[in-house]
Structure 1
Amino acid sequence: MRTYAYETVDVFTEERFGGNQLAVFTDARGLSTSEMQSLAAEMNYSETTFVLPPDDPANTARVRIFTRVHEMPFAGHPNVGTAFVLARHGRDRDGVLRFEEIAGLVEVKVAMNAGGEVSGATIAAPQPLSTGIELPAGAIAACTGLTPADIVVTNHRPVRASVGVHFVLAEVTGEALSRATPDLSHFRAVRDAAPELEGRFSLFVYARDGAKIRARMFAPIGGTWEDPATGSASATVAALLLSLDGGDSAAFTLTQGVEMGRPSLLHLTARRGEDGIRATVGGSCVPVFRGEALL
């Protein structure tokens, strides 16, 4: 029998049982892809990570990220949480970790509290902002149980965008945000009608008040009815807003998970660079469980 150690953390929160849950298998050598997928399904969190030796010894690790049903090229809270766990094991180099992932190299900076303990991390998304197809406001409204009038299109129409993994981003009114409820049949209909979505449809809806953002994320097709904190989508929103607002850089705070009883706080930045708009996302983490999987 083989044993694999794992740790769980709550990400983007300073309070245990808030934020987004993550399981981290700290040494996944010997696990097959199918075994990783099965373990992620068994953990039943929105994502689970598996840490492997890097291909390039200059980097910290190769990190594979799985949802309950498929592997992800990049994701926000898994990187922040994995960095938190590995830094607590002393695997950072001068407060920095570098993760090899499908979407590219992810650099993570460790945060310390006043007592000198690891308290969280900030990641740089591996790709500049890219945007794709726009979707009708009426279709997004149907997916969320809202009306077309609840979807704000004065700044941008619902759009597929990415800084490493794709989301459909839609602005809604502040009042509508709390009423949103995913409708699986409409999610499937939108996915099937838009081949540009490549069979995956994760929807990030947000309401903005200046530099403060409230958000919710629904991905029922992928097994996540609602996500309490979605770092990669939040970073994408920050990059998109900078592209719309103009300027060289911007900073935002984003709250998510309130309606789920798992409030999360994410700190976002976006800046213009030679290759486009780049974004970061960071926050605090809290350790929860340690255990072993038996295979």
Structure 2
Amino acid sequence: MSAKCHHHTVILNAAATGVTLMTPDTVLKIAAFTRTTTDADGGNPAGVVFADSWPSEAAMLAVAKAVGYSETAFAVPDRGGAAGGWRVRYFAPRQEVPFCGHATIALGAALGARVGAGVYDLTLNAGRITVEAIPEGDGWAAALTSPPTWTRLPPADYVRRVLEEFGLTDADLDPHLPVRLIHAGANHLVVALKDRRRLSQLGYAFARGAALQAEQSLATFIFVTAESRTRFHARNPFAIGGVYEDPATGAAAAALAGYLRDIRWLEEGAIQVVQGEDMGRPSLIHASFGPEPGSPIRISGLTAPIG
């Protein structure tokens, strides 16, 4: 992929940011969680920016907005951490977010193309993780270890209002997968439905969805149906970040895996999350985990260069 990464030029005012970015100032555009390493029509597109030192937050937000993807990852050498490590921040078009799985997978592929295969230490706002760049044919796969996970009860009135916004009732819910607040670096609300067709019919009002997510400091809502004990179909509205729906959400898949462990649906093992089907960007996320409650989740997937 090193020869094929597409660069989207974004000009930043160095005097305004107080730093010098790579020359030329570029954003690598990579689709994460694709079905193959050449099909950029699937997966979730992310931007990746390598810089020598930090631009201003306003500049990073402007870049994320200009690129228009759900997240762009900004990586600066972590001079205070492990040798070869990176300090990473993630920006959606509207705001900074603490963690983004698909942008981390894209970053892993970019590091593979830039530096080579291997495991890289990353320091995030949400904690410390690793990402592994894995050669896959002519391209790259990547795997990350998530921040620790947790599962909590949401307020009953809040759940009621979320269901109303999406036109759902208790009769639509899967009783074996209770509604919960879940976390693996970012907060999510998981809502499991009985019927795959009902999942495909979901819709909501953008502004109200964003307000509901802000109430509980959520990154996304995770609506899922279980095809089996280990394979799930998911949709992830991301209004708070300025995106109606995310086609592949690694942080959400990590939180989902931690939740399944916590409710003892699957105490250890691996799951697949199929996402993006209903928006024409089919994606596949792999999550594997051990039995220790709260321990990090390994998230992996293929990537493809865009352009």
**TM above 0.5, one fold?**
yes
Give 1:293's aligned residue: none
* Amino acid paired to 1:106: I
Give 1:257's aligned residue: 276
Instruction: Check if 1:205 corresponds to 2:223.
Output: yes
Q: Which runs of structure 2 are paired with 1:128-139 in the superposition (5 Å)?
A: 128-135=149-156, 137-139=159-161
Give 1:292's aligned residue: none
Distance 2:167 2:126 in 1: 33
Check the 8 A contact 1:135/1:158 in 2, yes or no. Answer: no
Give 2:144's aligned residue: 123
Give 2:8's aligned residue: none
Q: Which runs of structure 2 are paired with 1:51-62 in the superposition (5 Å)?
A: 51-54=75-78, 55-62=80-87
Distance 2:98 2:254 in 1: 15
Instruction: Check if 1:229 corresponds to 2:248.
Output: yes
> What is the RMSD of the two structures over their aligned residues, measured on CA atoms?
2.2
* Amino acid paired to 2:164: A
Distance 1:182 1:28 in 2: 41
Distance 1:164 1:277 in 2: 12
Q: How many residues were matched structurally?
A: 279
Give 1:286's aligned residue: 304
Give 2:235's aligned residue: 216
Give 2:7's aligned residue: none
TM-superposed CA distance for 1:223, in Å, is 1.0
- Greater mean alpha carbon deviation, residues 55-64 or residues 68-77: 55-64
TM-superposed CA distance for 1:109, in Å, is 1.9
Change (3 A) 1:81 1:178: same
Distance 1:221 1:99 in 2: 25
Change (3 A) 1:185 1:71: closer
* Amino acid paired to 2:94: V
Q: Which runs of structure 2 are paired with 1:155-166 in the superposition (5 Å)?
A: 155-166=176-187
Unaligned runs of 5+ in 1: 290-295
Give 2:91's aligned residue: 66
Question: TM-score, length-normalised on structure 2?
Answer: 0.83
Give 1:47's aligned residue: 71
Distance 1:251 1:120 in 2: 17
Give 1:23's aligned residue: 47
- Greater mean alpha carbon deviation, residues 136-145 or residues 204-213: 136-145
Deviations 1:68-108 (A, max 9, x none): 1111111100110011011111155xx11111101111111
Instruction: Check if 1:101 corresponds to 2:97.
Output: no
Which of 89, 106, 123 aligns to 1:81? It is 106
Distance 1:191 1:49 in 2: 22
Give 1:34's aligned residue: 58
TM-superposed CA distance for 1:143, in Å, is 2.4
* Amino acid paired to 1:282: S
Check the 8 A contact 1:76/1:232 in 2, yes or no. Answer: yes
TM-superposed CA distance for 1:269, in Å, is 1.1
